[in-house]
Amino acid sequence: MSLPAVKRRNWIRPERNYSIHRQCRLASVSKSVIYYKPVPESGTPQVFNTDQGAQFTSNDFTGRLHEKKIAISMDGRGRALDNVFVERLWWTVKYEDVYPKEYRDGASLYRGLDRYFRYYNEKRKHSSLDKRTPAEVFRGTTVSN
């Protein structure tokens, strides 16, 4: 399993029954959206945000979003800073976990990333958060060592 496949898997919330086709084809737009602001009654996203990759700008893909009355939000063309935080996160994940651990299969990679993200959010101190964890910032607490 490649890291791009892992990226897609981790962005999708499996408990909400959303998935993305491995080859990023137009399998089913209603089941392949990365979303925020879902409409509670239907679970259909209000907004679909992505970059301007060919698969996301195709008439087939955008047409399906329009049919479902889903607003389309695309990052600016050539705007590397639009997703700088996510790109930085994935750089950290790759160099602190994926590359050193050399996972042999998808199952071990999945378990390893689950462990790593728990560590990243609950234990790893972040200099940009004044040496606190994301969990501490989110909860408004600080855990003493």
pLDDT on residue 60: 85
Q: How far apart are CA 74 and CA 99, in angstroms?
A: 30
Q: Categorize the per-residue pLDDT at 46 as very low, low, confident or very high, splitting at 50, 70 and 90.
A: confident
Asked if residue 12 has pLDDT above 50, the reply is no
pTM of the model: 0.50
Closest CA to 61 of 42, 22, 33: 33
pLDDT on residue 89: 86
End-to-end CA distance of the chain: 37
List the domain boundaries for the chain: 3-78, 83-139
